[in-house]
Structure 1
Amino acid sequence: MLYLRLVRGYRVLDLGRWLLTATAAAVVAAFLLRALGRALSDPPGAPATVERLLWCLPPVLAIIWFTALAARALPAQRAERMAGLTAAGAGPVRLRLLIAGELALACALGALVTLLLFLVLRNDIAGPRLAPELGMGVPLPPAAPVALLAVLPLAGGLTAAGAVRLPETLPGDPEPVLIGRFGPARTTVAVVLAAGGVLTELYALRPAAAEDSRPLALPADLGHTSVPLLAGWAAAALGLGLLTGPLLAGAGRLLALGRPSPRRLLAGRGLTGNARRLGTPLAVLAFTMAVVLTSVRHWVAPGADGTGLVPAAEALVVTGCAVAALLARLTELRAQRRASSAALLRLGASPRLLLGAAMLRWAVAGSVVLATGALTAVLGAGLLS
């Protein structure tokens, strides 16, 4: 009943977050049930069964990532709801469980809708083309679909519960001061990984390596590659991802150098202060877009065999979850910036100044992400060449 009462106070953003979570869970549940249906249709011990389950891992991780950032954004976004629940006697642990339960219910509803559709199609409704995907003609173990679909609400709920920090669930607590400083050890490791990965891939692409064997078969009809190429690209992509936050902080400091104008000062300080929280979701989005665009370029290249529906649908789900996670983090930061923006307006700052600072901040952040994502995509293209 408490969740039903909370739903009555949903706004458009709350309803969109809930429906997006349920839709993503429904699509991933369809991938899991397809893997189950194919496992029932294939002969016992077929090696493709494990491969199909592994294909379901990226979208499951994407949903987990989105639920974590959505849970982190909810206390700051709906501070009045947290204040009301706290006044009603809910402590930090109960607030955390309420947030986790809300997202777990969305995942469970999406999985349940897909399960009902799966059972209806198995009732001699699907045609012969879908029969192997549904495992028609083979008895369905009742525990198998329940066990597979329980992964989504359990993973989403546990991740959401672990993502919400207890101090952030208590309205009125002072917000932690965010300083866009990254330790020299992390920056050094990121630079070494990126530079080492690029050099390793360039070495593997040297003309003398053209005759080297490429024993590794990539999934989704992406061809074959070699171990040095794959290792170099993975190290470079990880290093570039770790460098996203320090690059954002450094770009913010560059904006505020010298005697900056008020717009440059606000944009630089804001970008430096938010570099820690923005770095990870922006790095994940840049990596995801680089991988998806590189794969699409390979699929549509002349002479390529294209790809199946499942890899394309998974790419769409993973990209959508990465974009939604970034939007959740942006709503969290916007809610936390509301008090400082109101203070600036009371001091005489014009809304046009704040808008200009925000546009400059995002232009610089977009340039950083475009640079890291483009380099990751270029290295990925070399991996598939």
Structure 2
Amino acid sequence: MLSLRVLRGSRPAVLGRWALVAAAAAGTGLLLLSALGWALAHPGGSTSHAVVRLVWCVVPVVVTVQLASAVGRRQSADWPREGMSSVGLGRNGITVLAAATTALVCAVGSALGLLLFLLLRGDVTGGPWDGVGPGVLAAGRALPVAGAAVLLALVPAAAACAVVAGMRPGRPEDTHDAPGSLPWGVALVAVGLAVEVAAPKHSGVPLPSGLGVIAPAAIGGWIVTAAGLVLAGPGLVYLCGRLLAAFRPGAVRLLAGRILQHESRRIGRPLGLLCATAAAALSAYALQSGGGHTLGPVTVFAFTLIAVCVLATAAVGLAETGDDRPEARGALQEVAAAPSVLRAALAARAGALAAVLVPVAFLVAALSTVP
């Protein structure tokens, strides 16, 4: 009940973020149920194909959980500590409340996904929708309640656990640690790409929409490469800040460079994940255009969901860093700095990050399409 009261009293911007989380949870639940529907529609088919379709749903689940965790931690940081303490909620109580609120929103989204799946199957309207093949909806077959409940409970449970893990007290962030993560991230990217290139060809796990097959070793290489990009993200952002502030900078370049160095640990990992997602999208586009394949509606929906979740997670992280700079704004106002200086510094930061991260994404995508 307290979670509902907190949600009801939230600002429109906060409610918009929670609505995005609910929509992502609904989309992920729909993908999980489509994998279950495919298994029901092919009872005599190979069990491995059904497992593969379910395994490919891990990526939407992960990005949805990450988005829900980021929004949950962001709202808990906005709660007034005095008001929470007055009702008997300390650090642990705030953590539990944030986890419960996140799980509640994700559960509502999963319920919406179930309702949409039933509508597409024709269980509510009486006729299945023709836009998706019957092999995905399994229209006319009974939907196992236990299996559907377990699949729909994955996102709320994982999101609540992620919020609890992300809000536990830890050591304070040190900006000088950011450059140290860059060599390790580059090493992981190199190892992942080497594993992908050396993986056996024309055998392994089938890709969605008939894009071919990929070896399990290549999948492991992709995971290592993505982890390396996420790990290298803070170092890349710090490097961008150092380059901006080097070689006799002016006021705009110096301000932009110092801000990037200061925020490198906070925004580096979301930007690294965004870079990994862009590389994966470029690789999928190269496979689709090179082989003349047409992506199915489920695959297009999954790609769109992943892209929206990653972009929203990065946006939440960037907005959080913007809210944590009131002292800097006040100091600039005291020295009578023009508002155009802040806008110019923002443009310089965006240009420097794009100049570094975009080539990295294209390079990783080009090397990843070799297998």
TM-score interval, normalised by the smaller of the two chains: 0.7 to 0.9
Which residue, 250, 271, 292 being the options, matches 1:261?
A: 250
- Give the distance between the partners of 1:249 and 1:183, measured in 2 at CA: 6
| TM-score, normalisation: structure 1 | 0.83
Displacement of 1:236 after TM fit?
A: 5.3
Q: Aligned residue for 1:23? A: 23
Partner Cα separation in structure 1 for residue 134 and residue 369 of structure 2:
37
1:328 alignment partner in structure 2 = 316
Matched with 1:291 is 280
Aligned to 1:73: 74
Say whether residues 1:181 and 2:184 are aligned partners.
no
How has the CA–CA distance of structure 1 residues 57 and 86 changed in structure 2, closer, same or farther, with 3 Å as cutoff? same
Counterpart in the other structure of 1:154: 157
Residue 43 to residue 201, structure 1, CA distance change in 2 (3 Å): closer
2:187 to 167, 172, 192: 192
Distance 1:96 1:234, change over 3 A: closer
- Measured against aligned partners, the alpha-carbon deviations of 1:20-52 in whole angstroms (never above 9, x if no partner) come to 111111111111112222222222573222112
Partner of 1:99: 98
Check conservation: 1:245, 1:276, Cα contact below 8 A: yes
1:222 — aligned with what?
211
- Confirm or deny: 8 A CA contact 1:178 1:273 kept in the other structure: no
Residues 1:7 and 2:17 aligned together: no
SS class of match (1:269): helix
**CA apart distance, 1:228:** 8.3
1:164 shift after superposition: 2.0
Give the total of aligned pairs.
365
Once the two structures are superposed, residues 155-210 of structure 1 have per-residue CA deviations (whole angstroms, 9 ceiling, x without a partner) of 1111122212448xxxxxxx9564243364x44333334455667778x69xxxxx
The alpha-carbon distance between structure 1 residues 127 and 198, as it changes in their structure 2 partners (threshold 3 A), is closer
Q: Distance in 2 between matches of 1:246 and 1:273?
A: 11
* Structure 1 residues 106 and 230, CA gap change in structure 2 (3 angstroms): closer
Amino acid at match of 2:34: R
RMSD: 3.0
Q: Distance in 1 between matches of 2:218 and 2:154?
A: 34
Distance 2:360 2:289 in 1: 24
Give the Å deviation of 1:240.
Answer: 4.3
Which residue pairs with 1:300 in the alignment?
289
**How far is 1:111 from its partner?**
1.0
Change (3 A) 1:193 1:334: same
Per-residue Cα deviation, 1:312-369 (whole angstroms, up to 9, x for no partner): 1111111111000001101111111123222331243322222222221221122221
Structure 2: state its 5+ residue gaps.
none
The answer to whether structure 1 residue 125 and structure 2 residue 121 are counterparts is no
Deviates more, 1:274-283 or 1:338-347: 338-347
Deviation at 1:106, TM superposition (A): 1.3
> How far apart, CA to CA, are the structure 2 residues paired with 1:231 and 1:371?
23
Larger radius of gyration: 1
**Correspondence for 1:171:** none
Q: Aligned to 1:122, what secondary structure does the other structure show?
A: coil
Q: What CA distance in whole angstroms lies between the structure 2 residues aligned with 1:366 and 1:52? A: 34
* 1:264–1:229 distance in 2 versus 1, CA, 3 Å: same
58-67 or 344-353, which deviates more: 344-353
The 1-side partners of 2:31 and 2:50 are apart by: 13
Displacement, 1:241?
A: 4.2
- For residue 326 of structure 2, what is the aligned residue in structure 1? 338
What's the % identity of the aligned pairs?
32
Give the Cα separation in 2 of the matches to 1:218 and 1:45. Answer: 15
C-alpha distance in structure 1 between counterparts of 2:127 and 2:46, whole Å = 27
> Is structure 2 residue 351 aligned with structure 1 residue 375?
no
For 1:228 and 1:87, locate their aligned partners in 2 and report how far apart those are by CA, in whole Å: 54
**After the TM superposition, which residues 304-315 of structure 1 pair with which residues of structure 2 at under 5 Å, given as runs?**
304-315=292-303
Contact 1:181 1:249 in 2 (8 A): no
Decide whether the 8 Å contact of 2:244 with 2:352 is kept in 1.
no
- Give the superposition deviation at 1:286: 0.9
The amino acid of 1:191's aligned partner reads V
The CA distance in 1 between the partners of 2:212 and 2:243, in whole Å, is 43
- 2:69 partner SS: helix
The residue correspondences of 1:37-76 to structure 2 (distance < 5 A) are 37-43=37-43, 46-47=46-47, 48-76=49-77
The aligned runs of 1:239-254 (5 Å cut-off) are: 239-254=228-243
Q: Are the structure 2 counterparts of residues 132 and 259 from structure 1 closer, same or farther at C-alpha, using a change threshold of 3 Å?
A: closer
User: Is the contact made by 1:92 and 1:166 (CA closer than 8 Å) also made in structure 2?
Assistant: no
Q: What is the CA distance between 1:229 and its match in structure 2?
A: 7.0
Q: 1: distance between equivalents of 2:103 and 2:194?
A: 44
Structure 1 contact 180–275 (Cα < 8 Å) conserved: no
Shift of 1:244: 2.8
Partner Cα distance (1:135, 1:230) in 2: 29
Report 1 or 2 for greater relative contact order, CA contacts < 8 Å, sequence distance ≥ 6.
Answer: 1
Q: In 2, distance between residues paired with 1:262 and 1:95? A: 41
Pick the aligned partner of 2:143 from 140, 144, 150.
Answer: 140
Write the deviation string for residues 71-130 of structure 1: whole angstroms up to 9, x where unpaired. 332244x25x44432343311111112222222111111111222333452354216875
Q: State the secondary structure of the residue aligned to 1:90.
A: coil
Using the alignment, how far apart are the partners of 2:220 and 2:149 within structure 1? 37
